[in-house]
Amino acid sequence: MVSEKCNPFEEGQLDLMLINPSLDFKQDRKIIDSLRVNQEIPRQMAAQIGIGYLLAAAKKENLKAEFIDMVAYETSVNSLLDYIDEKKPSVVGLSAFTVQVKSAGNIADKIKDRFPEIKIGLGGPHATAMPKETLDEFKGFDFVVCGEGEKIIPQLLNSKLSEIKGVITRGKKDLSYDRIQNLDELAFPAWEKFDLSRYPGADPHGTNQELLLSTSRGCANNCVFCARPYGKNRIYRSNESILGELERNIKDFGCEAVNFCDETFTANIEYSSELFNEFIKRGLNKKIRWSCETRVDTATPELFKLMKTAGCYYIFFGFESGDDDMLKKAGKGFNVERIKKSIGWAKDADIVCAGSFILGLPGETEETARKSIELAKELDIYSTTFPIAVPFPGTVMRKMAERGQSGLKILTNNWDDYGKQYPGVMESNTLSINRLRELQNIAYTYNPKKEFPTSLLTKLGQ
C-alpha cells in the first residue's frame, strides 16, 4: 500500500539532492536479500530514517530536496548523472556506512567530473569518525558533515562551508560539532518524500507498511566494537512527541508496523514503561505491531510482558559472546547467566527473539568462539547471526588493533571489505582470519535458519 500523501519528486530545479550510493544496485540488492532468514520474509530493507529527518529539515526551510536511493529505486550511475543534469541541484549529499564509502567516493568523482560547480558532501558514521582522512582519500567530496545534519542542512546553501560548525572542509582545523539537545524540535521524518512501496521492511512484521521510529539518540554503553555516532549522552524525546509521530504515521502513511531503531530501546525502564502504557491507553497496540533492539540487562520479566501487551512482537539482542571473560573485555556489562535469563523471560512473554554473537572480538580463542556457538544452540531463538568482528573507524577496537593489543591485526583498509559477514578484515595471534571464517561456517551450520513463528505476531484490530 502506498500512501496518497507520498510524492518523492519535486518539480523544477533542486536545492538539495540526497543519495544512498550504489555502483551496482543489482549486486547490492542480492547482498541484502541474502540476509533474509526466510526468502519470503523481507529483512533490512527499510526507508532510511536519518534521510527522512534531513528531508524534513529541508522542507521546514522551504528548500526543494529529493532523495535517490540507488538500491531501492534501481538507479544506475549513468541514470543518476542524467537525473542530476535534469534537476541541477545546488548541493548533493551522499550518506554512507564504512562499507559504502568507496562507492560514495566513486560516485562523487563522477558527479564532480561532469558538474564541477555542484557542491558535494558526505555524511554518516564513517565521515564523522574520519573527516580529514575521508577528504584526503576521496577528492570528489568538497566537505563532510560530522554528527547530526538537521541543523546544518539549511546553512549549506547560504553560508560559507568552512564557517559552518560540523562541516569539515580541507584545511579546516576545527573538527568539533554540536549535538541536538532538544529532539522534540525536529520535524517528523518526511516519509512523503520516499516511494514507500520500495521498502518491504527491516523486520518480519507481516503487515502492509512498516516504518522506522527513533525515541532517543546516543548510547551510554561501552562496547569496544561500536563507534556511537550520536555520542555517549543519551537524549530522549518526550512521550507526546513520540506518540504524535506514531499517530501521524498511522493516519498519513497507513503504518501498521514500527521498528524502533534506538541503539538500546529499553535503556531506561521507567521511561519505556510509561511509553508502553500510553500505547495501551490510546489503543495503539491494536493498530500497530512493533519490534526493537535492546540489551539483556535493560529488561525485566514484567517489562517484557508489558511490551507484548503494548504490541511488541520481535526483539533483537546483541549477545556478542558466550564467555563471561570475553563479555567483560568487550565492555558489555553483563554475563552469560543474564543472557539466558532474559531470553527465557522474553520467550515466556511470547516475544520472538533474534540476536548476534560476534566472532573475533579482543581475546577470542577457539574455546570462547565455540562457547558462543553452543550458547546460541541452547538459546534456541528464531534467528542468530555470527558476524566477524570489524574494526570500524571511531571504535575502541580499531585503536586496540592499530596498537596490536590482544594480538589484533588489521588486514586491510579496503573499505569495501568492511561488511560484517564476509570476508573479514581483522585477525589475531590466536585466531587467523581463515579460522574465523571456518568457525563462522560451523556456527551457521550448527544453528540453521528457522521458520518464523507467525503465531506469535501480535494481533491487530482486536
Residues of the chain whose pLDDT is less than 50? 1-4
CB–CB of 105/137 below 8 Å?
yes
**pLDDT at res. 351:** 96
Residue extents of the structural domains in the chain: 16-168, 202-456
**pLDDT at res. 2:** 40
Burial class of residue 173 in the structure, from the number of CB atoms within 10 Å of its CB (0-12 exposed, 13-18 middle, 19+ buried): exposed
Burial class of residue 115 in the structure, from the number of CB atoms within 10 Å of its CB (0-12 exposed, 13-18 middle, 19+ buried): middle
Burial class of residue 272 in the structure, from the number of CB atoms within 10 Å of its CB (0-12 exposed, 13-18 middle, 19+ buried): buried
**pLDDT at res. 457:** 78
Tally Cβ neighbours within 10 Å of residue 260.
Answer: 21
CB–CB of 315/381 below 8 Å?
no
Beta pairing, strands 16-20 & 65-69: parallel
Q: Is 65 helix (H, G, I), strand (E, B) or coil?
A: strand
User: b/e per residue, 244-254, with b = 16+ CB within 10 A?
Assistant: ebbeebbeebb
CB–CB of 406/414 below 8 Å?
no
**pLDDT at res. 128:** 95
Q: How far is Cα 7 from Cα 3, in angstroms, rounded to an integer?
A: 9
What are 348's strand-pairing partners?
Answer: none
Among 319, 328, 426, CA closest to 373: 319
CATH of domain 202-456: 3.80.30.20
**pLDDT at res. 3:** 47
Letter for the amino acid at 325? D
CB–CB of 191/213 below 8 Å?
no
Cell readout for 196 is 514507500
User: b/e per residue, 8-19, with b = 16+ CB within 10 A?
Assistant: bebeeebbbbbb
Q: How far is Cα 141 from Cα 127, in angstroms, rounded to an integer?
A: 11
Q: Which CATH class is domain 16-168?
A: alpha beta
**pLDDT at res. 6:** 57
